[in-house]
Each structure stands twice: as C-alpha cells, then as structure tokens.
Amino acid sequence: MANTVAAVRSDERWKPASELHLLNQESQFASLELLTLRGLFPKGLRRGAIAEIDGYRSSGRTSICLHVLAQATLRGEVCAVIDLYDSFHPASAAAAGVRLERLLWVRCHGDAEHAMRTADLLLHAGGFGVVLLDLCEASPRILNRIPLSYWYRFRRAIEQTPTVLLLCAESPQAKSCSSNRLQLKHNAFHWSGKLPFLRLCGLQADALVRKAKVIRPESLFIRTVS
C-alpha cells in the first residue's frame, strides 16, 4: 500500500484536492479589461464566471453595464442583452461605445421565466463574450421565485469558456456563485444650466467590490450620455 501511494504521488497527474480547487478558479482566458474601472477591477472581469452589479435606480448600474458591453464589443466580441422589462435603449448604448452590430437583444416583456430560460439557452450555446441579464426593476416577489439552482447551472455552463455572465439587479442574486459583486449607491447629482432649465450632466456614486480580498470603497463620477 505504501509503495502504491508513493507511486501515485510521484505521478505528475496527481494533485491534492486543494490544488485542484485552485486550478479550477483560474481561467485560461484573458480577463476583460475595464478601462474606467481599473481602480475597482485592476485585473478586469474574470472569464468563465458570474459578475454582479447591484444598486437602486439612478445608482449608475446601467452605465457600468454599458461600459462593460462597450469594452467587449470594441474587442470584436459578440455579446447579448437579456432585457426583462424592455428597458434597453440602443441609442444610449451606441453613444456609450457599444457596437450594436455585435449585440443580440432579447426582450422578455416582463416574463422572468422567459428571461431565465433565454439565459440558459445562450450560455449553453456559447460564443458570447458578455451576456448581460438585466433584472432591474423586478420586484422582490419575482426575484425570490428564481430557483438558486439556476445560478449553479449558469456557473457550470460558462466554466472554462471566455463568457462573462453579467447580472444586474437591485439586490444580489447569485450569492456564492458570483466571482465579483459591485455594489453602487448614488450620493450626488450634477446639473448644468440655470433654473428652470437644468440638465443632468452626471452623478457621483459610491462603488464597492464585495468579493475582493481588500474591500475598498471608491467614488465614481458617471457622466450622462448626450
């Protein structure tokens, strides 16, 4: 028995369970670099993983999502937006740098089950750089009805692939299945012009990466798209 154990340990294919876990956490694909968010994600978004952006309305969550899509499509990647409440605005996305010709837009007309099934189909089909699942404005009742098993299934579907599942909602949904969670909270709005004709030119938001080794809040200025 001792000789057998020694032979197995000398084999290069043998690895302790702890090392296998670490290997599983490392993606073979280069991370998606985010130019304006280097302070929060110095290594970018890890491929083959779930990332979450959560915050209330007017917290900057949509602008961050558009920035991620812009960086991916500018690299020539094909991306997808699964839009629960048909709130995606193509003109604003194009102004933010998103290449619309490389974007698949799925409108779900408020049907959460449709949105989750669509995400399942796209993630298992593969070939997408970023799949944005937009659950913003969904009520807690609808979000609580989404089975936790979906997130485990999605995580397994994109492991060892170059796909990033970007989940956007008011509150965290994927729990332990997400690799990064960016929490946003607005603290100030910036206006231009004079009363009574004011124009929103940007907002100040507090951003916090919840799954980083060192949790460090950062202030972001998000400029509105004209």
3-state secondary structure of 210: coil
Per-residue pLDDT tens listing for the chain (226 residues): 555 545 545 555 555 554 544 444 555 788 998 887 787 888 889 999 999 999 888 788 998 999 999 999 999 999 999 999 999 999 999 999 999 999 999 999 999 999 999 999 999 999 999 999 999 999 999 999 999 999 999 999 999 999 999 999 999 999 889 988 888 886 666 667 778 777 766 667 677 887 645 455 555 545 555 4
What are the structural domain ranges in the chain?
28-184
Question: Under CATH, to which class is 28-184 assigned?
Answer: alpha beta
Cα 14 from Cα 145, distance rounded (Å): 42
Spatial contact of 166 and 83, defined as CB atoms under 8 Å apart: no
pTM: 0.78
Spatial contact of 118 and 106, defined as CB atoms under 8 Å apart: yes
Closest alpha carbon to 69 in 44, 34, 40, 37: 34
